Chains A and B, each alone.
Chain A
Amino acid sequence: MSNRPELQAPPEIFYDDAEARKYTSSSRIAEIQTKLSERALELLALPDDGVPRLLLDIGCGSGLSGETITENGHQWIGLDISHSMLNVALEKEVEGDLLLGDMGQGLGLRPGVIDGAISISAVQWLCNADKSSHEPRLRLKAFFGSLYRCFARGARAVLQVYPENLAQHELILSYAMRAGFAGGVVVDYPHSTKRRKEYLVLTCGPPSLSTAVPCGKGEDGESCSDDDSSGDEENQTVSISDRHRPRKKQKINKKGKGREWVLKKKEQMRRKGNVVPPDTKYTARKRKARF
């Protein structure tokens, strides 16, 4: 049986007064939320110029993530669907503004005004249909579309998510890309089922240096007791899907690297002492399509 909160009740019901209380009473929950928020802000990679930016906290809940934004010197607007969670944030007198709202209905914000966004453990909730009127795909579309529109050029979103499975992961990512975002996924501690954390790093606008996706933590075998089967595939911690990649470049790559490049590579391999087939007139020759 799964004990995923997303399967137990809709978020506005699951995050009731009792659950919300844990965000102030449990130091473990607080610590995890704060750590995730700090990492999200780090991945947001705002310019290091001391200028406070206007950020969104999507699923801001009790305001632990917002407090991290404040500590980093930025202004924020938080959105959450749970009354109880927002009440905890009120008690704490957080410095950001709070909105009661459902991200699946789209964000009601003016275009081009927001400098960035973080979200901690919230967006996967959109994959569940909690009401008969809910269609996860439409809700993901409304959310990512509205997020993209309210962003200033070059703004970034870092969304830490807990997808239930690969299909959910793909679903969320595909709707982000469809909305126009470039970017990809950063996975921290990919080999540990417990510590594994997934962050969608999304950028608005054409690719630039700043759209390169940073590396995950613990990629090179930081101790992970509960999973040590590390095939090559599992070392793949950063996947980049970039819809803005120019067509032309892709075509050039398809053509292959040419005879000179192959000869050079073969020579290198020989020098390393490898057994390499001799160079002939057939080396790196183009094959006919029907081959």
Chain B
Amino acid sequence: MRLLTHNMLSSNIKGVTNGFPLRIEVEKVVEKEVEINHDFLRNIFPKIDWKAFSDASRIMGYVELPEEAPEPSVLESDLEFLRKFHHALLELHLEEGALVCPETGRKFPVNKGIPNMLLHEDEV
């Protein structure tokens, strides 16, 4: 699972009012290189919750992202920023570990890169 997906996921447990962001517990991170696409980065940028994203990148061991959301204008000019944004968003994978509901502490295990988001009957 990439941080792109982590940034969209929230805990869906019955009664939880603020299930975002899921806390990340890391056992293993893998990196997979993919081609950069500036158009995608510009299109997705406004939808990214920056604090959750930059926090998550640090937990995954990547410390190059600014903590504060940058001005959208950097997306037009700053190639170095785009490269870092791309790397953290699409090239870091949580391979083994867990996602933890911020409200209830319920753990969603991540195995072979796949978060198990299935709820128990009493959580629906």
Contact = CB atoms under 8 A, between A and B. Distances in A.
A171 interface: no
Contact size range, B: 20 to 34
Contacts, number: 81
A114 B8 CA distance: 8
Contacts of A86: 114
Contacts of A118: none
Contacts of B7: 110
Contact of B119 (A77, A102, A114, A152): A102
Given A51-B39, A108-B9, 6 more contacts: A97-B1, A97-B113, A98-B114, A99-B114, A113-B8, A131-B121
A77 B8 contact: yes
A53 interface: yes
A114 B12 CA distance: 17
Interface in A141-165: 142, 146, 150, 152
A90 B1 CA distance: 12
Interface of B: 1-2, 4-5, 7-12, 19-20, 34, 37, 39-40, 43-44, 47, 49, 90, 112-119, 121, 124
Given A90-B114, A100-B118, A75 B12 contact: no
Contacts of B47: 54, 112-113, 152
26 contacts: A51-B43, A52-B37, A52-B39, A77-B5, A81-B118, A90-B114, A95-B34, A97-B4, A98-B113, A98-B114, A99-B9, A99-B115, A101-B118, A105-B118, A106-B12, A108-B9, A108-B12, A109-B8, A110-B7, A110-B8, A110-B10, A110-B49, A112-B47, A113-B8, A133-B121, A146-B12
Contacts of A53: 43
Nearest to A138: B124
A102 B118 contact: yes
B8 to A, nearest CB: 5
